[in-house]
Amino acid sequence: MNESLILLLIETILIGMVPRAMPIFSAALGETVDQSAGILNLGVEGMMLMGAITGLLVDYYYHNIVFAFLAAGAVGILFGAIHGVLVITMKLDQTVIGTALWFVGWGLSGVIYAAIFGISSAPPTVQTLGHIYIPYLSSIPFFGRFIFGEDPLVYILIVTLIVVDYFLFHTKQGLNLRTVGQDPRVAEIMGVNPYLYRYAAVIFGGLMAGIGGAYLSLAIVGSFYFDLTAGMGFIAVALVYFGKWKPWRVFAGTLIFGAVYVFYFMMENIYPKIPYEFYQMLPYVVTLIMILIIGTKARAPASLALPYVKGE
Amino acid sequence: MNMEKSIKEPIVKMEGIVKTFPNVVANDGIDFEIYPKEIHALLGENGAGKTTLMNILYGLYKPDRGTIYIYGKKVNIRNPSDAQKLGIGMVHQHFSLIPYFNVLENISIGLKELKINLNTNKIKEKLDRIMQEYGLQVDPEKKIEEMSVGEMQRVEILKLLFRGANILILDEPTSALTPQEVEELFKSLKSLVNQDKSIVIITHKLYEVFEISDRITVLRKGKVTYKGFTKDTEQEALVEAMVGRNVVFEEFNRKETNYTGSLKVIGLTVYGKGKIPIVNKVSFELKRGEILGIAAVAGNGEKELIDALFGLIKANEGKIFLDDKQIDNKPTKTRTQLGLSYIPGERLTRGVAAGLSLSFNSILHDHWSDPYIKNSLLNENEIRKFARKIISSFYVNANSEETLAKQLSGGNIQKFIVGREILREPKYILAVNPTSGLDVGATQMVRQALIEMRNSGAGILLSSEDLDELVSLSDRIIVMYKGEIVGSFKRGEFDKLRIGSLMMGKKLN
Ligand SMILES: Nc1ncnc2c1ncn2[C@@H]1O[C@H](COP(=O)(O)OP(=O)(O)OP(=O)(O)O)[C@@H](O)[C@H]1O
Ligand SMILES: [Mg+2]
């Protein structure tokens, strides 16, 4: 391969990886906040699927992409709230409930889809989310489109990332939330209401998972099919470990995942002889290796997945 | 009496405080006052209700009855935030610090004076000022997990001062400190009082009481048994208030016993962190047909001694012989097969498998032996029969032997465990607080059962928080303090005042 081809390859990856990373990143950012408050949400996958189908339905029937995302976010919040009642108030096992929510979202999204569009007909399509090309800047070679030519939601999510990072590490409320994740008893003794913070966290987690799912159906695929997310929710959970509960590191992790994803699309075209499934496996294998290398040293919030029972 | 002090109005007045937990009246109509600029020592045996009373003042528990006045005004303290607003701060027996955070972060948690922005410079400035003012130094950027216990203690106190606490409650602050650290702590406490703070200190050590406190309140079984100025207090009176009067009456029919065989312990030593001995060269011989009591304030090595005897932890030095057979190098299974039984203090985590039925729980020690195993399979009929026997003999309130252990109340779990350990007919029993959490009737039944075991030839090592229980059941009592045996008494010579003094670190001359 000559130099210009490699440059082209890199540019393609740069341009392609951001949208590919976004659904996972959105969900992973929510999961980061969830886990920082001591809640393990294994239901992200299900919540993403519910967001994806909701977003698609609204956009398909009302042709309003803003409403579509809002509706997906609302369904995410609803699922987050249900999650909260089950694991915070009723103190049920977080692993079991998370798995149950995954199944519910997975099955329900498929059923809704089949009930409305049928099984055999061609999948409904919508226009994918348009990009903003900032004049001049987006024409800068190599980096132009990567930085100045993304769709609006990418910029919104980046702003959210900055806000969440600032919230967690530079505000009192963020410190309170992380305390609840470390030791809710201490939080209570220091005058912080652990239940309140945990509910706020699960609701944010649900919102971001719903948006992430809708991003996949509305900005990338422009459609929905059964099991659309194909494990991305679990990758999101894994990348929170990789990111050691720091939003910027989690973001970096999702970009790596996105890059590998784009890379496999390209290699598939260059070397079509290798089975397609092998390529499809790559991003997941890379994630696994990333976690193995870095995740072993990660230290989870001390009260992760433990319910808080007052007065014990 | 010191006239100046007696004229002052109390800043805290707790009146008629009652707090009941299932089966225990932890506080039974307590009146308690704190005066300005005093160090007030709150004393009492384990389980007397000290922590409960202070938790009520700090808003962690709601009293069933009683009133609290602060500066003469009736207040309703619903949670720790309310307490903090009233200037009350508490350092708990277990620290309330996040090990992963540094000092500044720990201080900022839930801090009312911060709005949104976590302004570390502002916090640091104020902390520096407070550290100057009270002479308490820590490194603000240091993580708690890298600190010594003494440093953590300082962080806890600084945390309270930072929130403007005027009344500081310290629950057993010295129990994990080195002597030098205790001295430093006391120096800071004295300087705090000079700067208009009031302090309540809970402790089990007599010399600390006389060194540091101005006034003393003693609790016993949820009631106030002594109140007075430290300088007017006699040590004897204090100990008596804690352990109760020496009233001896025989309530049990104890037979003369003469069995051969003994559990012999020679020079047993268990090291804790940093090679500090928790159990220090302990030697004794427990004969069959005898109850040997261990009197100790919790945390003086009595727990580790029993754990080492049963094989739950490894003794670093020393030997254990069961009927002349050396067992210190044997696993727990062998020890139980040789006839050792264990009634643990932590009933839910160590006494039963909470998620299993009572039948399975009845054979936790014996599931490999006759008659519970037949052709390598569990013999369910025999197992159920044994479980039913425990349930009926010890009046365990359970629907059937298939009820899960965790569905029982604490007291019934305790009865079940005691029943199991006794009915398996061991030669020796290690019993830790066997009647804790039981009502009066059940307590009597368990004590009676232990005496009968003794009469029929079992040797019982009894560790109990309740000195009265030790005195009424034991044939001999040994006292442990800081891991060592510091005294030994024969039945007939039991003197609760002397035992109590030894438990609290007083040397006998
Ligand atoms: N949350 C609780 N639930 C049930 N019982 C409790 C609870 N807290 C305390 N108790 C019981 O109330 C009684 C008093 O306990 P408390 O902790 O106040 O004693 P203490 O005087 O502080 O003893 P120690 O010296 O061992 O710390 C004990 O019998 C204890 O078992
Ligand atoms: Mg206590």
Whole-number pLDDT of residue B427? 95
Domain count, chain A: 1
Among B403, B423, B443, which residue terminates a domain?
A: B423
Which residues on chain A are in Cβ contact (under 8 Å) with B108?
A: 172, 175
CA distance B98 to A303: 11
| Nearest-by-Cβ selection for A175 from B81, B92, B108 | B108
- Shared domain check, B103 and B85: yes
Range of the domain at A175: 12-119+150-297
Contact between residue B321 and residue B491 where contact means Cβ atoms under 8 Å apart: no
Domain-embedded: residue B127: yes
Domain-embedded: residue B252: no
Domain-embedded: residue B255: no
| CATH number of the domain to which A226 belongs | 1.10.3470
Chain A: closest CA distance from residue B482 (Å): 28
Question: CA nearest B421: which of B343, B497, B499, B323?
Answer: B343
b/e for A28-51, b at 16 or more Cβ within 10 A? bbbbbbbbbbbbbbbbbbbbbbbb
Put simply, whether B92 touches A (Cβ < 8 Å) is yes
Whole-number pLDDT of residue A291? 82
- Secondary structure of residue B124 in the 3-state scheme: helix
Task: Give the pLDDT confidence of A218-236 residue by residue, as tens digits.
Answer: 999 999 988 999 999 999 9
Dist. CA B93 → ligand 1 center (Å):
12
- Shared domain check, B222 and B179: yes
Whole-number pLDDT of residue A156? 96
Put simply, whether B22 touches A (Cβ < 8 Å) is no
Residues with CB under 6 A from ligand 1: A 311; B 21, 24, 26, 44, 46-52, 298
Chain A: closest CA distance from residue B31 (Å): 24
CB contact under 8 A, B96 and A299: no
Domain-embedded: residue A305: no
Domain count, chain B: 3
A-B interface: how many C-beta pairs under 8 angstroms? 62
Q: How confident is the model at residue A103 (pLDDT cuts 50, 70, 90)?
A: very high
Which residues on chain B are in Cβ contact (under 8 Å) with A174?
A: 118
Q: Give the residue carrying structure tokens 């130099």.
A: A3
Contacts (Cβ under 8 Å, ≥6 apart) of B227:
B215, B216, B217, B218
Contact between residue A245 and residue A112 where contact means Cβ atoms under 8 Å apart: no
Domain-embedded: residue A141: no
Question: CA nearest A16: which of A277, A257, A232, A287?
Answer: A257
- Shared domain check, B315 and B303: yes
Residue nearest to atom 9 of ligand 1 (CA): B52
Whole-number pLDDT of residue B5? 47
Among B185, B215, B243, which residue terminates a domain?
A: B243
Phi, psi of B366 (to 5 degrees): -120, 15
- CA A266, A267, A272, A277 dihedral sign is negative
Chain B: closest CA distance from residue A300 (Å): 11
Q: Strand B215-220's sheet: what is its strand order?
A: B88-91, B167-171, B198-202, B39-43, B215-220, B223-229
Chain B: closest CA distance from residue A45 (Å): 30
- Shared domain check, B368 and B332: no
Put simply, whether B1 touches A (Cβ < 8 Å) is no
- Shared domain check, B229 and B364: no
Q: Is the pLDDT of residue A311 over 70?
A: no
CB contact under 8 A, A172 and B116: yes
Q: Is the pLDDT of residue A174 over 50?
A: yes
How far CA A178 is from CA of A33, A35, A304, A312, B216, in Å, comes to 9, 9, 11, 20, 40
Interface of B with A in 265-294 (CB under 8 A): none
- CA A218, A220, A224, A230 dihedral sign is negative
- Shared domain check, B351 and B299: no
- Shared domain check, B377 and B312: no
- To test ligand 1's pocket by mutation, which of B51, B217, B242, B413 has the most ligand atoms within 8 angstroms of CB? B51
ipTM of the assembly?
0.90
The single-letter code of the amino acid at B350 is R
Domain-embedded: residue B251: no
**Which pair of tokens denotes residue A2?**
């000559």
Domain-embedded: residue B216: yes
Q: What is the helix, strand, coil percentage profile of chain B, to 5?
A: 35, 25, 40
Whole-number pLDDT of residue B311? 94
Among B176, B211, B243, which residue terminates a domain?
A: B243
Question: CA nearest A44: which of A113, A118, A99, A93?
Answer: A99
Domain-embedded: residue A157: yes
Q: How confident is the model at residue A198 (pLDDT cuts 50, 70, 90)?
A: very high
Whole-number pLDDT of residue B62? 94
- To test ligand 1's pocket by mutation, which of B18, B21, B174, B205 has the most ligand atoms within 8 angstroms of CB? B21
Domain-embedded: residue B257: no
Dist. CA B52 → ligand 2 center (Å):
7
Range of the domain at B458: 263-339+426-504
Which residues on chain B are in Cβ contact (under 8 Å) with A188?
A: 79-80
- Shared domain check, B417 and B441: no
Domain-embedded: residue B410: yes
What Rg, from alpha-carbon coordinates, does chain A have? 20
Q: How confident is the model at residue A23 (pLDDT cuts 50, 70, 90)?
A: very high
Question: CA nearest B284: which of B77, B437, B479, B89?
Answer: B479
- Shared domain check, B209 and B197: yes
- To test ligand 1's pocket by mutation, which of B52, B172, B433 has the most ligand atoms within 8 angstroms of CB? B52
| CATH number of the domain to which B185 belongs | 3.40.50.300
Q: How confident is the model at residue A147 (pLDDT cuts 50, 70, 90)?
A: confident
Whole-number pLDDT of residue A239? 93
CA distance A306 to B192: 38
Put simply, whether A310 touches B (Cβ < 8 Å) is no
- Shared domain check, B491 and B436: yes
Encode chain B (509 residues) as per-residue pLDDT tens digits: 444 445 578 999 999 999 998 778 999 999 999 999 999 999 988 889 999 999 999 999 999 999 999 999 999 999 888 999 999 999 998 889 999 999 999 999 999 888 888 888 999 999 999 999 888 899 999 999 998 888 999 999 999 999 999 999 999 888 778 778 888 899 999 999 999 999 999 988 888 899 999 999 999 989 999 999 999 999 888 888 988 877 666 678 888 888 999 999 999 999 987 788 999 999 999 999 999 999 998 889 999 999 999 999 999 999 999 999 999 999 999 999 999 999 998 877 888 998 899 999 999 888 878 888 888 888 889 999 999 999 999 998 888 899 998 888 778 898 999 999 999 899 999 999 998 878 777 888 899 999 999 999 999 999 998 888 999 999 999 999 999 999 999 998 999 889 988 998 877 55
